[in-house]
Amino acid sequence: MSKLKDRLENALKESPDFEKLRDHVQMSVTGDGLRIELIEKEGGLFFVSGSPTPSPSGRELLERLAGELSTLPNQLLIEGHTDAKPFTGSADYSNWELSTDRANAARRLMQTNGIAAGRISQVRGFADQNLRDAAHPEDASNRRITVIVRYQTPPVAIAPDKAPAKPPDAKPHH
């Protein structure tokens, strides 16, 4: 996973918007796999403010990530997060819908750009339930999309003493 992290960081450096994005893309190797966080700034960087529509720089970054990740067999999880400011656009649309819609928008964009549909095992919306900066619940850094590249599950080897017994010989002995 650390080699993948280095490869993705190098690919992102090739982006024309790299200087603008550098402090807003964070990668870390965790127990779940490689966690790639696209962290918003005030006014929106990856998504149009209050909308599930990716901004041009968000679209470009997700397309670049999809291109790099499409060569791997690993399962992906995509999460959407918001800050604690109540969504004011509509009475029947909340941060729950916004976080899920943004995660789904990221999924669709990544699938359009090379990620096979079966590779994305979960799309989750957390609203403000998993804040990045709990001390500042309304901070823009709490608004983010997270792509998790899961570890490959190695095949389970059967120890010789646990192998199934050989079937008995079908021919009768005389």
Cα(148)–Cα(21) distance, integer angstroms: 19
Mind giving me the DSSP string for 31-70? TTEEEEEEE--TT-SSB-TTSSSBPHHHHHHHHHHHHHHT
The lowest-confidence range among 2-6, 81-85, 153-157 is 153-157
pTM: 0.81
Cα(144)–Cα(3) distance, integer angstroms: 24
What pLDDT does residue 9 have?
A: 81
* Residue among 40, 37, 11 nearest 26 (CA): 37
Tens digit of each residue's pLDDT (9 = 90 or more) over 21-55: 777 888 899 999 999 999 998 878 899 888 899 99
Residue 83, pLDDT above cutoff 50: yes
Cα(126)–Cα(96) distance, integer angstroms: 7
3-state DSSP call for residue 24? helix
Residue 156, pLDDT above cutoff 80: no
What pLDDT does residue 167 have?
A: 46
The full set of domain ranges for the chain reads 2-162
Answer CATH for 2-162 from 2.60.40.740, 3.30.1330.60, 3.30.70.1150, 3.65.10.10: 3.30.1330.60
